[in-house]
Amino acid sequence: MKRTANTWCQTLLVCVLCAWVAGCASNLRSERVAPGVTFATYNLDDPNRVYVLTVERACAGYDLDVGWAQGQRDFAQRMPTSAIAALYDKPSATDVVAAVNASFFDQPPEITGATASDGELLQQPDRRYETAIIRTDGTATIVARLEPESAALVDVDMAITGVGWLVRNGQPNTVNWEQYKFDEVRHPRTVLAWNDRCWFLMVVDGRSAESAGMTFAELARFLIDELHAEQALNLDGGGSATMVVDGAVRNVPSDGSERPVANALLLVREAAAQP
């Protein structure tokens, strides 16, 4: 999603457009985080708390990058999402506006599937699951069972593998869910989604009386009805699900505190774009 335009978004109207495309949900609170970026909390009646960071794609100067525990792909110890974000937050060069947890992982340094960041392919896909790919020209796609050395990775800017292609072309991708046993259980969730106008980073709290978590079907309905998402990928969730905005954890992790994770998806603002 890297852009090099010389102009910057100036109006609050552009900043909040995507956050309101589907109208108001129950007890919606929305705030401006940065030019072209809004953060919203939805308190739903089912009950669920949903946190959505919306980035206007027309605004130059933002990038989605993968940040790693210990600041390196070959990490030896996992770190909380907020700590990973802090490692990459360098105001003189890059400002980490927000972050969510990203890859499914095993013992360090094992993760599931492909990763690419800032145009560098850091790990090849392994023919399993689903991978979101953002190219250097700003276009994006999701590919299932991506092959190593795939042509889909040509001109890749960022790539991350998840488990569950939630929304495909604006519709619930139920065919994809049949292979996963946890799709019908309510869990805390983390999602990367987008449409033609916006990128969305989304976290759902879960496993509590205040927020039950969501099934894949519930996630898809929220993404489509409230955000008008065209594509959406389920990232690691459960106790890992964490939303960080301006360095602060904004959701309520189900473990009671942040779980150390392998990596995080970072919304980074380039120094040239900062006021």
Domain boundaries, the chain: 12-31+55-104+179-198+215-273
Mean pLDDT, rounded, for 83-105: 95
Please check whether residue 73 is in contact with residue 109, taking contact to mean a CB–CB distance below 8 angstroms: yes
Task: Tell me how many degrees the CA angle 239-21-53 measures, rounded to the nearest 5.
Answer: 30
* pLDDT score recorded for residue 8: 43
pLDDT value at 22 more than 60: no
pLDDT on residue 181:
86
pLDDT over 80 (residue 13): no
Answer yes or no: are the C-beta atoms of 97 and 61 closer than 8 Å: no
The region of weakest confidence among 16-25, 81-90, 112-121 is 16-25
What 3-state DSSP class applies to 203? strand
Average pLDDT, rounded, for the chain:
90
What single-letter DSSP state applies at residue 223?
Answer: H
Residue 14 has pLDDT above 70, yes or no: no
pLDDT score recorded for residue 275: 60
pLDDT at 270: 83
List residues bridging with 233 in a β-sheet.
165, 192
Can you give the length of the chain in residues?
275
Supply the pLDDT for residue 93. Answer: 85
Cα distance between residue 261 and residue 243, in whole Å = 13
Paired residues of 228 in beta bridges? none
